[in-house]
Copies of this chain bind each other. A is one copy, B any other.
Amino acid sequence: MAETTETGLPRAVAIAWGMQEVPQRGPNRGLSHERIVAAAIEIADAQGLSAVTMQAVATSLGFTTMSLYRYVSGKDELLRLMQDAAIAVPEKVSLPGDWREALRVWAGLVRDAFRGHPWVLGIPRGQVSVLMPNSVRVADLGLAALRDLPLDDEEKIGVILTVSQYVTSTVELELSLADEGTVAVTQEGLDLLGQVVTPDRYPHLAPVLMAGNYLETQPVAPGADEGIDTEYEFGLELIISGLEQRVRGEPARGAGDIA
């Protein structure tokens, strides 16, 4: 993790917060971090993360590949900037007073953010990520949602962490299922699988699998898979009601000490 010169902050963090001193003595700059990141995001949105190459970004801006390196130290840094820039949350957010409702709204914000730029999930989150502007914003909103909850700060952080992990996992699942509406296995393949996934070896799963309740053998119409939404809510409500019970004075099994 490259530290920015002088200050004790990673370069990507400094750049994202606009704390990177702009050089004075050279020619005028033809590009900016913002334009580069925006171009990269546009490519990722259109053609996926794998299409984001230094060359693609540069030529889409009308510059040469190497010019980008005057702004970012390498591709990793660019990816980190994209990762944060892509999950912007609306300027104005009004959270309901009730923490349950507020948490649902907040989770929805996070979910929408990731669903809007699903490739973000393909970029590993590091220690640096949480220091980026939008991550900070989201975390702040999350704490705001839990304002009235009788938990200490560390526990609240634990909660928003758990929820956001859950949300992103759900989006990831949704993606892997959608995947161009492709189907991994046909009915014929399923039958074949039945030869090895036998009820005696997998007593609990085999029946479900054979009944066709475990995976699709038909292409899912895009958007028509409302199962995802109900699944999402199912899990979220699980967490919320668990939390409800927790603050109601249930014996605490674990208190979060978050790093």
Point out residues on A near B: beta carbons under 8 Å: 1, 3, 7-10, 13, 17-19, 122, 124-131, 136-137, 139-141, 143-144, 147, 153-155, 157-159, 161-162, 165-166, 168-170, 172-173, 176-177, 179, 182-190, 192-193, 195-197, 202-209, 211, 213-216, 220, 225-235, 237-246, 250, 253-259
Q: Give the CA-CA distance A123 to B234 in the complex, in Å.
A: 26
Within the complex, the shortest CB–CB distance from A193 to chain B, in Å, comes to: 7
Whether B127 lies near A182 (C-beta < 8 A) is yes
Q: Give the CA-CA distance A230 to B254 in the complex, in Å.
A: 5
Within the complex, the shortest CB–CB distance from A179 to chain B, in Å, comes to: 6
Q: A8-B192, A179-B126, A241-B242 are in contact. Are A235 and B162 (CB under 8 A)?
A: yes
* A-B pairs with beta carbons under 8 Å apart, 9 shown: A13-B189, A127-B185, A153-B208, A157-B214, A161-B173, A169-B169, A227-B256, A238-B243, A241-B242
Q: Which of A9, A234, A250 has the most CB of B within 10 A?
A: A234
Whether B259 lies near A177 (C-beta < 8 A) is yes
Taking CB as reference atom, which chain B residue is nearest A18? B196
Whether A140 lies near B203 (C-beta < 8 A) is yes
Whether A165 lies near B154 (C-beta < 8 A) is no
Q: Which of A9, A19, A124, A207 has the most CB of B within 10 A?
A: A9
